[in-house]
Amino acid sequence: MKTKLLLIITAVLSIAACTKENLIVNTTEETTNVIITGNSMSGFNNNKSKASTIEYIPKDESILFFSTGGIKANGDTLSYNNGVWTGLKDNNWYTDEGEAHVIAYYPIINNYNLYDNNGELKDLVYCKTTAQPGESINLSFNHIFSKIVFNIEKGLNDTINQINVNIPLKIDNFNLNTCEYSFYDNQNGNISFERNETGVYEFFVPASENMPVSFEIVCPNIRQTSNIGNNNFNAGYEYVCNISKRKNKGIYTKEDFIAFTHLINGEAEYNGKTIEDLYYMENGKRVFSLHNDLYFTEEESALMRRIADNKKVFDDVFDGNNHSLNDITLPTNNISTYTGLFDNISKNAHVKNLTIVNCSTSYNDYTSLMVGSNNGLIENCHVIGGSIKSEMTIQRVSGFTIRNAGYIINSSISGFKSEYIIAALGVMTFQNNGSIINCRIKNDEKIDVNSQKSSVITTTNNGKLINIFVERYNKDYYGVCHQNEKITEMINCVIPSQYSNKYINNNLNPSPVNGIIFYNDTNEEYQNIVDKLNNWIDNEGKNSYPQFTFRRWKTDDTQKVVFE
């Protein structure tokens, strides 16, 4: 009997020991919490320049998250809160299981459907990375597909009914665990666009080699089919097609632009080119059309001239087609009274759809970057970055244009800086005798000036300032102008509230102050600003200026209030 009891006790102890041992194994498994940060997205690389921008996944949006190895996730939905992604169903880092192989997507694909109802491929970004055991994970997203942009010149765009695009490949199966995809057999991804007013048509195609994309432009009684001219499309790259009913006329290369600056100033020939090679006629005007983004070295800048220099006048149309001129150092020869990329444009001239980026000059007086003296129309033109440098003690300078006696509309300046200048500086203009309408000024650089006259919109105002948004306060400037002289109009000039005691120094016409709106730095205020700016466009703008199409406004996480 005692022997039997002893055996039972021994068995119980053995079971208890085994159970205790198993518990110890479970509790010593190495785990820690998972930390996931990062919401940056690389913009599309330009096929020619490889330049790209950094954007961010909008707040209140979610991503789809997968992981194998040390982190377990199978399509979890994560939200971004205070700089950290949350929502993992299993928030443990199983460090003893080695690396984590992570892949995340934005936006979330409902039912894994990559195509919209109209057949267009959706833009999709992803991050694919490997994290070492216990490490935090920083997500940085890239575009999976390729982007194609059609820029159709206005004269042609006004006549078209529809654009049909033939995309030979259509995605069949998309593996979210690997970001690999395959195609249907004998099925294409054709799409169609109705005409829009902008002439810009954007769509996405699979990243693939040997994929000849073609398109058909349908006009009344006419159908014309063309190939894009590129069969290989790389992920995350943008391919821009400028479509015109004219051929072989315009500015395509740096050599073309350098030649243009000589020929427009009256030289009969430059490096085998004549002025007739660079323009077409439209409505009785010569149109000089830019067809690519161009990047210049200092040596190349030294070969060019300023446009309409030495007291000449530009009397034509320059259409940048939403392209940019980059890194130009403006030449200092043949000085005019007012200087810029364009020294002087006439009442009949039109400069439009042009951006100049990181351009610079070291002139002495009456100096700007875009246009010296404007008597015509500057439309949808932008100065980004750029600088003016001088050590003269008397100087009048501006980032955009020195003297405006015409119209500046839908335009902007940001990132401009000046160096070693003891000057009266107007960020947008130095003297406004005309109209500045529906424009944006981001006074975000420290500008080295030593003058009590410096102002954000214009140093001296004799004209109209309408529907203008100013971002960021600088204590060294007047928020609107130093001196408001004649009977003028100020309507919807939206400036930071810190300027409430320093927006106009000498107001000879007190009535316009009612058109100045002060705002505080809050999201609610920015939405109110967008509404005010767009309300002006929808009402007074359309009625008072029916000849213009004004760009609309929206809010943006990084730049607050921007053009759509």
| Dihedral in degrees, nearest 10, Cα atoms 176, 179, 185, 191 | 90
Contact present, 370 and 401 (Cβ < 8 Å) = yes
Q: What CATH number is associated with residue 55?
A: 2.60.40.2620
129 & 154 share domain: no
- Please, are residues 255 and 271 in contact by the beta-carbon 8 Å criterion? yes
Indicate the residue among 187, 218, 242 that finishes a domain. 242
Q: Which residue has the tokens 């939405």?
A: 527
- Name the least confident of 48-57, 134-143, 388-397, 436-445: 48-57
**CATH code of the domain in which 184 resides:** 2.60.40.2630
Is 358 a residue whose pLDDT tops 90?
Answer: yes
534 is a domain residue: yes
Span 129-152, average pLDDT: 93
Query: Which residue segment(s) compose the domain that 105 sits in?
Result: 31-113+122-143
Q: What is the pLDDT of residue 420?
A: 56
Provide, rounded to the nearest whole percent, the portion of the chain with pLDDT above 90: 54
**Same-domain status, 306 and 335:** yes
**pLDDT at position 17 over 50:** no
On whether both 394 and 459 belong to a single domain, the answer is: yes
The SS3 of residue 254 is helix
Q: Give φ, ψ of 497 to 5 degrees.
A: -65, -20
SS3 state at 163: strand
Q: What are phi and psi of 27, to 5 degrees?
A: -80, -10
The tens digit of pLDDT for each residue in 186-225 reads 899 999 999 998 889 999 999 999 899 999 999 887 777 7
Question: Is a pLDDT exceeding 90 seen at residue 392?
Answer: no
Residue 332 lies in a domain: yes
Name the percent of the chain lying above pLDDT 70. 87
Residue 383, domain member (yes or no): yes
Average pLDDT over every residue of 149-155: 82
300 three-class SS: helix
Q: What is residue 540's DSSP assignment? A: I
Q: Provide the token pair at 441.
A: 């000024």
Alpha helices in 123-202 (DSSP H): 154-157
DSSP class of residue 334 equals S
Q: Are 187 and 295 within one domain?
A: no
Q: What average pLDDT does the segment 494-514 reach?
A: 78
Same domain, 106 and 232: no
Average pLDDT, the chain: 85
pLDDT band, very low/low/confident/very high, at 349 (cuts 50, 70, 90): very high
